[in-house]
């Protein structure tokens, strides 16, 4: 019943024009399904994105100094609309495909995040001289993709609620998503893990953008109303960042993360879901810690060495357990992107 | 004194053909050739010739700079040596005014030596490059990229570390087990 109540609230937020076709999709059943909830989140994301774009009424120009290679150049772009991705499109196809992240005035910046002011840009990729920032962004993006996999792979009867993922830590050997899968004492077989892996690997071919959106806490609460973990976390996150919550969208999957993330799922070359361990958390009860391993498509590795990494990624990852308190809340922790590789 | 491994015996260097004096052979020819090479090295700071000649020249050039650093330009023997080894006399000034200040605080050798690929088809001579360190030319070897932080290497390094620590712990556990068995018996 709580679910149907929450759906009603959503109707009030969304404009009346789209009401007729939304009504049928949300209230079909009392039991929530991931597909419905995802559709709802996506709608809210879409309307909010449109609203934010609508705020820009006058096209203003900014000057962007791009640092080579291939060469230094200056571009005149649209304020609040053009992204580093658009800048790279003016220069070279290689930059468009391989750039995972941009450094805007020395600050890591998503490729699909609009530029706000005059700035200098450098494009980063995975084989740079020092790719540590990009590596972290990659690990974080893989966590988002793992969330996507968990929400889409299971059948409708299992309403998966994603909890959170810890700070990206490459040395641990695996990226992690803690989630409530609504499965009792599940020990995944190799075949099951392979299925999950395949779902994730499909995203590589779909070439989905990682879109960043800064939304108000109230809108974020609307989005994640049906997720009991995220709806608890959002007030804490908003508190630390001044009532703003950063939300990412990959295809039709929406998740909270402070970012930055890589440009597209096409840049994830190898992807494996390696294990799911049961964990007991003080604040959220019993959860599954799902672990995975990925490599950028730019980085090649022999299958023999990859197999070593894959076996290691199956061992239990001892990253801190998800907690409600802000100090260790993963999304907020993620904010300070200090380099410790 | 020299800061690199060198050959104890002098090499036989083949005959030299000089424009005025014609062909000079033997010890005399060897020294002529070496003086030519040392002069060229100090002048151009990088020379390319037969590898064996590079290696032979290296010792004499370094020794000359060493004595120049140690004794300075007021020392008679050093000036004689400089006069002997440098065919072009303006290079004596370069030795004391440029090279001595440059190498004063070096704790390594003053020169680099490289082998270059054997040109084929050709005579099959092993060629080499001898250069003074701190020269203004572009590097002989391309700059090596630091790939420590590439994601694959970070992951493999962590896996290696993990494996080694687990091996260590297994070893200590085995030792403990064996010692306890011994004490029981």
The residue ranges of every structural domain in chain A are: 2-54, 132-333
Q: What pLDDT band is residue B18 in, cutting at 50, 70 and 90?
A: confident
CB neighbour list of residue B160: distance below 8 Å, 6 or more residues apart: none
Whether residues B57 and B126 share a domain: the answer is: yes
Domain identity same for B34 and B79: yes
Q: How many CB atoms lie within 10 A of CB A286?
A: 11
Q: Determine the pLDDT at residue B80.
A: 96
Chain centre to alpha carbon of residue B77: 26
Rounded-to-integer distance, Cα B183 and Cα B185, Å: 5
Would you state the structure tokens that stand for residue A266, as one six-digit string? 């096409």
pLDDT value of position A22: 46
CB contacts, 8 Å: A170 with chain B: 151, 154-155, 158
Q: Which of B143, B148, B151, B161 to mutate to test the interface with A (most CBs of A within 10 A)?
A: B151
Q: For A222, phi and psi rounded to 5 degrees?
A: -60, -45
Question: What does DSSP say about strands A119-124 and A61-66: parallel, antiparallel, or unpaired?
Answer: parallel
Contact A341 B149 (CB under 8 A): yes
> Quick check: A139 and A299 in contact, CB under 8 A?
no
Q: Would you tell me how many other CB atoms lie within 10 Å of the CB of residue A21?
A: 9
Tell me the CB-side half-sphere exposure of residue B25, using CA atoms within 13 A: 0
Region of B20 (left: φ > 0; alpha: ψ -120 to 50; beta: rest) is: alpha
Q: Tell whether A171 lies on the interface with B, counting CB pairs under 8 A.
A: yes
Asked whether residue B48 is domain-assigned, the answer is yes
- Sort strands A107-109 and A73-78 into parallel, antiparallel or unpaired: unpaired
Distance from C-alpha of A52 to C-alpha of A80, rounded to nearest angstrom: 10
In a domain, B176, yes or no: yes
CB contacts, 8 Å: A171 with chain B:
154, 158
Residue B96 DSSP one-character state? I
The pLDDT, as a whole number, for residue B12 is 86
Strands (E), chain A: 61-66, 73-78, 101-104, 107-109, 119-124, 161-164, 175-180, 210-216, 244-250, 253-256, 268-281, 285-296
Q: Is residue B9, in this structure, part of any structural domain at all?
A: no
CB A188 within 8 A of CB A277: no
The number of distinct structural domains making up chain B is 2
**Range with the lowest mean pLDDT among A85-99, A101-115, B8-22, B146-160?**
B8-22
Range of the domain at B166: 145-185
Confidence category of residue B60, pLDDT binned at 50, 70, 90? very high
- Pair (B114, B172) in one structural domain: no
Q: Angle between the A303-313 and B151-184 helix axes, to the nearest 10 degrees?
A: 60
CA distance A131 to chain B (A): 6
CB contact under 8 A, B154 and A173: no
Same domain, B117 and B49: yes
Which residues from A are below 8 Å from B145, CB to CB?
129
User: Do residues B156 and B96 share a domain?
Assistant: no
Tokens of A156: 């409708």
Contact B37, B49 (CB under 8 A): yes
Domain identity same for B157 and B184? yes
Token pair 């052979």: residue: B25
Residue A307: closest C-alpha in chain B = B156
How far does B95 lie from chain A, in Å, by closest CA? 39
Question: Which residues of B are less than 8 Å from A135 in CB distance?
Answer: 149, 151, 154
A29-66 confidence digits (pLDDT tens): 567 899 999 999 999 999 999 999 999 999 999 999 99
Left, alpha or beta for B175 (phi > 0: left; psi -120 to 50: alpha)? alpha
- Non-local CB neighbours of A69 within 8 Å, separated by 6+ positions: none
Contact B159 A308 (CB under 8 A): yes
- B149 in the same domain as B124: no
With CB atoms and an 8 Å threshold, state whether A170 touches B162. Answer: no
Report yes or no on B4 lying in a domain: no
Within this chain, do residues B169 and B113 fall inside the same structural domain, yes or no? no
Distance between CA atoms of residues B40 and A117, nearest Å: 57
Helix boundaries (H) for chain B: 26-44, 51-71, 76-85, 90-94, 100-103, 151-184
Q: Are residues B105 and B150 in the same domain?
A: no
Which of the residues in chain A have pLDDT under 70?
1-30, 325-341
Higher pLDDT, B40 or A17: B40
User: Could you tell me the CA-to-CA distances from A314 to A173, A175, A268, B43 in Å, in that order?
Assistant: 9, 10, 19, 63
Distance in angstroms (rounded) separating the CA atoms of residues B64 and B68: 6
Q: Assess: ipTM above 0.90.
A: no
Which CATH number is correct for A132-333, 3.40.630.30, 3.40.109.10, 3.30.980.10, 3.30.70.890? 3.30.980.10
Nearest CB among A127, A171, A172 relative to B150 is that of A127
Does residue B20 carry a pLDDT above 80? no
Residue A220 contacts by C-beta under 8 Å, 6 or more apart in sequence? A234, A238, A245, A247, A256
- The radius of gyration computed from the CA coordinates of chain A, to the nearest angstrom, equals 20
Tokens 């992204």 appear where? A83
Instruction: Compute CA A7 distance to the chain's CA centroid, rounded to the nearest angstrom.
Output: 24
Mean pLDDT, range B23-50, rounded to an integer: 92
CATH at B100: 3.90.1030.10
| Nearest-neighbour CA in chain A from B10: distance (Å) | 45
- A291: closest CA of chain B, how far (Å): 15
Residue A62 has a pLDDT of: 96
């Amino acid at each position: 019943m709580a679910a149907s109540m929450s759906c009603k609230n959503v109707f009030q937020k969304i404009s009346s024009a789209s009401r007729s076709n939304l009504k049928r999709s949300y209230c079909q059943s009392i039991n929530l399904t991931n597909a419905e909830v995802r559709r709802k989140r996506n709608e809210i994301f879409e309307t909010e994105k449109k609203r934010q774009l609508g705020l820009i009424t006058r096209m203003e120009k900014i000057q962007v100094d791009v640092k080579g290679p291939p060469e230094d150049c200056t571009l005149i772009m649209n304020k609040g609309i053009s992204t580093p991705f658009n800048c790279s499109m003016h220069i070279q196809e290689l930059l468009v495909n391989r750039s995972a992240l941009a450094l805007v005035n020395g600050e890591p910046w998503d490729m699909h995040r609009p530029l706000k002011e005059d700035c200098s840009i450098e494009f980063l990729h995975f084989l740079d001289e020092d790719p540590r920032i990009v590596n972290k962004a990659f690990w974080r993006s893989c966590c988002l993709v793992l969330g996507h996999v968990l929400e889409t792979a299971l059948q409708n009867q299992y309403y998966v609620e994603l909890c959170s993922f810890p700070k990206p830590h490459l040395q641990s050997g695996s990226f992690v998503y803690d989630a409530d899968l609504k499965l009792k004492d599940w020990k995944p077989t190799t075949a099951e893990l392979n299925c999950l892996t395949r779902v994730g690997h499909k995203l590589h071919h779909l070439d989905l953008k990682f879109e960043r959106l800064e939304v108000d806490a109230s809108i974020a609460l609307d989005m994640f109303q049906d997720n009991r973990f995220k709806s608890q976390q959002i007030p804490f996150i908003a508190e630390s960042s001044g009532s703003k919550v950063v939300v990412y969208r990959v295809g039709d999957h929406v998740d909270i993360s402070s970012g930055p993330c890589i440009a597209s799922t096409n840049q994830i070359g190898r992807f494996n879901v390696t294990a799911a361990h049961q964990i007991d958390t003080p604040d959220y009860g019993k959860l599954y810690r799902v672990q995975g391993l990925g490599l950028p498509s730019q980085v090649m590795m022999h299958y023999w060495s990859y197999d070593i990494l894959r076996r290691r990624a199956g061992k239990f990852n001892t990253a801190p357990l998800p907690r409600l308190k802000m100090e260790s809340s993963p999304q907020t922790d993620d904010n300070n992107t200090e380099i410790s590789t | 004194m020299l800061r690199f491994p060198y050959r104890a015996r002098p090499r036989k260097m083949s005959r030299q053909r000089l424009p005025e004096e014609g062909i000079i052979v033997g010890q005399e020819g060897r020294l002529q050739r070496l003086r030519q090479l040392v002069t060229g090295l100090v002048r151009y700071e990088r020379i390319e010739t037969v590898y064996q000649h590079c290696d032979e020249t290296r010792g004499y050039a370094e020794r000359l700079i060493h004595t120049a650093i140690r004794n300075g330009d007021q020392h008679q023997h050093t000036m004689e040596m400089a006069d002997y080894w440098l065919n072009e006399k303006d290079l004596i000034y370069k030795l004391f005014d440029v090279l001595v200040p440059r190498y004063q605080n070096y704790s390594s050798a003053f020169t680099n030596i490289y082998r270059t690929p054997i040109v084929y088809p050709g005579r099959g001579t092993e060629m080499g490059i001898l250069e003074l360190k701190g020269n203004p030319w572009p590097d002989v070897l391309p700059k090596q990229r630091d790939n420590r932080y590439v994601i694959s290497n970070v992951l493999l390094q962590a896996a290696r570390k993990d494996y080694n620590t687990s091996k260590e712990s297994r070893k200590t556990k085995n030792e403990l087990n064996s010692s306890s068995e011994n004490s029981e018996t």
